[in-house]
Amino acid sequence: MSRWLLPWSGSLKKRACRYLLQHYLGHFLQERLTLDQLSLDLYNGSGVIRDISLDVWSVNELLESVGAPLELVDGFVSSIAVTIPWAALVTDHCTVEIQGLQLTCRPKYRTSTTWDSQGWSSCMTSSMQLAQECLKDPPEASEEPPAPLEGLEMFAQTIETVLRRIRVTFLDTIVRVEHQPLDSDTGVALEVHIK
């Protein structure tokens, strides 16, 4: 039996799922995730978030930190589905399916070509830090109080195992790059549809 299924209540698992999604995706979303926004089937290890507007400012900050030649104008995701094989975390891949991603970008002209990897390293967190932060996240009023948890290290190892084996799939993606010269009333756009 999986280590994930034994000592943790359904309430803690739901909070952990929300926390991990918020931790890794939250700064790119216009609004904070709520439990109502999530559709979770914890027994089968799946969850879906629907109708997500991207936080243009945060995405552009990341693009700026890596020296990308584009900036985001608008972004939307129809759904993000996550599947975690609780019973076979060591052997099966976790999957993230992003459906209906729509990005509208425009060129960004830069004066320097430096690339700073600190933007990427600031997004990284150890599994032990994640486990500690997740357990500090207070339960919502409708949830049962958390049971005392032994084995923080085991929880951190479980998180690390999940994060090590992730497969990401994009379906029905549209990327649109628009360009309108400063001295022109008209512009040009390239739109790529990926099924």
Using CB atoms within 10 A of its CB, is residue 170 exposed (0-12), middle (13-18) or buried (19+)?
middle
Find, among 47, 44, 48, the residue nearest to 86 by Cα.
44
How does pLDDT run across 8-32, given as a tens digit for each residue? Answer: 666 676 677 778 778 888 888 898 8
pLDDT (tens digit per residue) in 138-182: 666 655 555 545 567 777 777 777 777 889 999 999 999 999 888
Say which residue, 146 or 86, is predicted with more confidence: 86
Q: What integer pLDDT is reported at residue 190 of this predicted model? A: 94
Q: What is the dihedral of CA 64, 70, 76, 80, to 10 degrees?
A: -70
3-state secondary structure of 18: helix
Question: Kindly report the CA angle at 12 between 26 and 24, in degrees rounded to 5?
Answer: 20
Confidence band for 127, pLDDT divided at 50, 70 and 90: low
Q: What is the DSSP string of 96-115?
A: EEEES-EEEEEE---S----
Pairing of strands 46-53, 70-83: antiparallel
Taking only Cα atoms into account, the Rg of the chain, rounded to an integer number of angstroms, comes to: 19
Confidence of residue 128 (pLDDT cuts 50, 70, 90): low
Q: What is the pLDDT, as a whole number, of residue 126?
A: 66
Q: Is 72 helix (H, G, I), strand (E, B) or coil?
A: strand
pLDDT of residue 58: 94
